[in-house]
Amino acid sequence: MVSVTRSVFGELPSGAGTVEKFRLQSDLLGVDILSWGCTISALEVKDRQGRASDVVLGFAELEGYLQKQPYFGAVVGRVANRIAKGTFTVDGKEYKLAINNGPNSLHGGIRGFDKVLWTPQVLPNGVQFSRVSPDGEEGYPGELKVWVTYTLDGGELVINYRAQASQTTPVNLTNHSYFNLAGQGSPNIYDHEVTIEADAFLPVDETLIPTGEVAPVQGTAFDLRKPVALGKHLQDFHVGGFDHTFCLKGSKEKHFCARVHHAGSGRVLDVYTTQPGVQFYTGNFLDGTLKGKSGAVYPRHSGFCLETQHWPDAVNQPHFPSVLLRPGEEYDHTTWFRFSVA
């Protein structure tokens, strides 16, 4: 059984609307999701003793989400990740986006899908959010109708993304939750054991744009096909952290993506997806300045993201899987976050 409870989370400034919170509760998981940015603001998971802890970084109040912060828990779009120099061409026409990350455009622009109020609809086992992204929003072509649906099934949180376009446009949607399976507010993720089911990854240039090469992980720090203890692995390979796309199976079917195990609590997160890639990010840019829930601060490497998505800058790299959505087609992707104890 899943219960869904709806409450007011806060009021946007200047009467811009009311942000609601939706509490999804099963016997194994409790999830709070906000109508602002479709944001997962809390995710309570039991450890092997049956004690629940909140395993996502975030804020207790709306003000936290409205300040400059690194997309905690939010859905990002219209195009997640980076587009080189904020430009791309579709059907011979060049489009220019806001530059908001070094020389590039990141996560949909200045006011992406994470910084808007979505329209909620309660479901028996979850909540569906929808919005219409107008033609030209953040520089993108055509109107885009978007639906993001969160459902709970026992220990599994399922996120489905659907979109329909009036004009050909790139679309790449993901959720940017930062996890710490020891519980949010724990100082780091070095004691997490990580597996990613990927034979290849995308090397990047100094501005974090893929070089175009699809590189084998074999013999590199990116070979996570067998479980690695994250802290030791970063030390062994002298890596300052990950912020890279791992290339998954090309099929549109549900496939295994990643597993993270926290031995101390026994918590395990298994991720499955229909997407061709996952951005594994180890919170390298967190710096301890943000005040989170329960007085937590979030230093570098205090959370990790597994952002299932298409490959970055795909709109400018023709040999990458296409991110273009054409009129009459439907964008439809699903990611499954399955929690258990071991």
Give catalytic residue positions: 176, 307
For residue 16, the SS3 value is coil
Instruction: For residues 134 and 205, give the distance between their C-alpha atoms in angstroms, rounded to a whole number.
Output: 32
- Other CB atoms within a 10 A radius of the CB of residue 290 amount to 19
Calculate ∠ Cα 162-163-164, nearest 5°: 140
Query: Exposure of 217 by Cβ count < 10 A (0-12 exposed, 13-18 middle, 19+ buried)?
Result: middle
Check: CB of residue 199 under 8 Å from CB of residue 216: yes
Instruction: For residues 81 and 86, give the distance between their C-alpha atoms in angstroms, rounded to a whole number.
Output: 11
- H/E stretch holding 29: strand 29-34
Half-sphere exposure of 277 (CA within 13 A, CB side): 28
Which of 13-22 are b and which e, b meaning 16 or more Cβ less than 10 Å from the residue's Cβ? Answer: eeeeeebbbb
- What is the phi/psi pair of residue 65, to 5°? -75, -25
Check: CB of residue 126 under 8 Å from CB of residue 159: no
